[in-house]
């Protein structure tokens, strides 16, 4: 380890951030600014704040594999004029801030300064589980810090996972060609924690842990090189390593990609972090495709954890990009799903920003890493839903449906309601509501509704959402 970096680590251990953050709440929403550069996020921070997002989530900002000659396409094939692939930033070669795809350490600092100015908190996508497929691309600083290249990986780190329900394979084996880091090595934990604390000192206030289910918890079997499965204790501030501890752990929002499979100890992960509600997202997308929903379908969270420990989404970057599971769905469908999720009492909704110019025929759109996504993150219905969630804090939800499940109402006590027409036809509705009697004007379009004797009446346009507030 270079002396300069050692001094940096000591400084991070003792330096408290100048601005104290409040503990996160369930009423907040997250904008996933997928592949936006740090400069692009900073330039759009005013719009992000005005749209009602409490958090903006970046893509991974650590040093990463330089693939396709450093090309900046989201995705390319041989012969394309611009080469590149978005997922190279999920292949670390070192844990320091800055990469060629998204920006430098100074760019990160400037983005956090902009976020602080507009009252937005920054979540960083982090991934300690693995390195680049080409492990020879790992930089000497990292190798030296962990006691040599052979100590960077689990004993099984180059053995491909064949059974994802085998917890030893899942937490210590090679995933999709990505060699598995020995996250239980105290030297690695120390080096990684310096990176995280550097992010916090510059302004990060939360972390999304990629491939979290691939890092073991206490009940998991031990890799031959490990003495304890204690990475999560260190990463979340429950214990220190070599005199270094996580900064301001009580003020950070931390969640993990713990995709729902058999034999994943979700309750143990819940002790450390919130988790992604991947099964719920799948069910919601099915309802949006069908244009209707059974009430019971979407009140069940399909998770062993309580909803206050879940990050909810209509789609994620993985469902959009990997197998294009959700990419065939329209922006209107995503918007309806967002209003529904965000109007609900529990969960923490995350809005995935699709590429600018994307269509159902061209998923990659303008196909440039660093560019801002499309305008959907600030669509009036999306903005209205974000603000509704904040305004309805603490109000109990009640979900009802009409027109054979085509129209859904989410009441938040007697204070307000969201209406979503999942169908592609205009609907005239008369449905039970907890809103007080009176005349209502939708907060987005000014559409008129009437409530009398516990029934809500009005017309709703196809694939459109409405927000109503009680006077």
Which residues of 210-315 form beta strands (DSSP E)? 253-256, 274-276, 310-312
Residue 425, phi-psi category: left (phi > 0), alpha (psi -120 to 50), beta (remainder): beta
* Token pair in block for residue 349: 């909704």
Q: Which one, of 108, 103, 71, lies nearest residue 87 by Cα? A: 71
Task: Tell me whether residue 257 is one of the annotated catalytic residues.
Answer: yes
* Whole-number Å distance between alpha carbons of 113 and 330: 34
Q: Which of 26, 134, 210, 457 is catalytic?
A: 210
Q: Which of 28, 169, 184, 257 is catalytic?
A: 257
* Whole-number Å distance between alpha carbons of 265 and 231: 15
* Whole-number Å distance between alpha carbons of 335 and 197: 36
Cα–Cα distances (Å) from 25 to 39, 210, 276, 302, in that order, read 27, 22, 16, 22
Cα–Cα distances (Å) from 368 to 64, 262, 352, 362, 444, in that order, read 17, 37, 16, 13, 32
* Whole-number Å distance between alpha carbons of 332 and 388: 19
Question: Is the separation of the CB atoms in 329 and 288 below 8 Å?
Answer: yes
Task: Tell me whether residue 210 is one of the annotated catalytic residues.
Answer: yes
Question: Is the separation of the CB atoms in 80 and 92 below 8 Å?
Answer: no
Question: Is the separation of the CB atoms in 52 and 383 below 8 Å?
Answer: yes
139: Cβ–Cβ under 8 A, 6 or more apart, which residues?
63, 93, 94
Active site residues: 210, 257
């Amino acid at each position: 380890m270079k002396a300069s970096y050692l001094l940096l680590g000591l400084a991070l251990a003792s330096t408290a951030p100048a601005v104290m953050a409040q503990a996160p709440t369930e009423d907040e929403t997250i904008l996933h600014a997928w592949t936006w550069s740090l400069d692009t996020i900073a330039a759009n921070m005013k719009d992000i704040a005005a749209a009602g997002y409490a958090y903006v989530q970046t893509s991974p900002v650590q040093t990463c594999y330089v693939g396709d000659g450093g090309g900046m396409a989201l995705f390319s094939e041989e012969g394309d004029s611009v080469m590149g692939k978005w997922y190279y930033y999920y292949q670390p070669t070192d844990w320091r801030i800055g990469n060629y795809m998204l920006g430098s350490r100074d760019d990160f600092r400037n983005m956090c300064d902009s976020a602080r100015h507009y009252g937005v908190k920054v979540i960083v996508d982090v991934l300690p589980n693995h390195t680049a497929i080409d492990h020879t691309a790992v930089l000497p600083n990292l190798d030296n810090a962990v006691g040599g290249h052979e100590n960077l990986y689990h004993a099984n780190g180059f053995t491909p996972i064949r059974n994802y329900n085998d917890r030893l394979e899942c937490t210590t084996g090679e995933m999709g060609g990505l060699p598995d880091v020995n996250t239980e090595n105290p030297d690695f934990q120390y080096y990684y924690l310096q990176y995280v604390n550097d992010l916090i000192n510059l302004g990060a206030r939360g972390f999304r842990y990629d491939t979290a289910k691939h890092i073991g918890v206490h009940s998991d079997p031990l890799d031959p090189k490990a003495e304890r499965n204690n990475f999560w204790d260190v990463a979340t501030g429950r214990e220190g390593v070599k005199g270094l501890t996580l900064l301001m752990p009580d003020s950070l929002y931390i969640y993990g990609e713990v995709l729902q499979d058999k034999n994943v100890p979700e309750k143990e992960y819940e002790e450390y972090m919130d988790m992604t509600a991947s099964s719920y997202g799948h069910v919601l997308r099915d309802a949006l495709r069908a244009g209707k929903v059974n009430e019971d379908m979407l009140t069940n969270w399909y998770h062993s954890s309580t909803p206050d420990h879940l990050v909810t989404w209509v789609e994620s970057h993985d469902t959009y990009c990997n197998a294009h599971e959700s990419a065939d769905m329209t922006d209107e469908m995503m918007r309806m799903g967002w209003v529904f999720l965000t109007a609900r009492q529990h969960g923490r909704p995350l809005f995935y920003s699709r590429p600018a110019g994307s269509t159902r025929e061209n998923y990659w759109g303008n196909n440039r890493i660093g560019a801002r996504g499309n305008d959907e993150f600030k669509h009036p219905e999306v903005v209205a839903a974000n603000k509704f969630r904040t305004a309805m804090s603490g109000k109990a939800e009640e979900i009802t449906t009409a027109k054979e499940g085509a129209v859904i109402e989410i009441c938040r006590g007697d204070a307000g309601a969201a209406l979503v027409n999942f169908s592609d036809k205009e609907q005239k509705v008369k449905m039970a509501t907890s809103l007080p009697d009176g005349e209502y004007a939708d907060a987005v379009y000014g559409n008129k509704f009437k409530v009398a004797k516990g029934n809500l009446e009005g017309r709703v346009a196809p694939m459109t959402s409405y927000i109503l507030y009680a006077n």
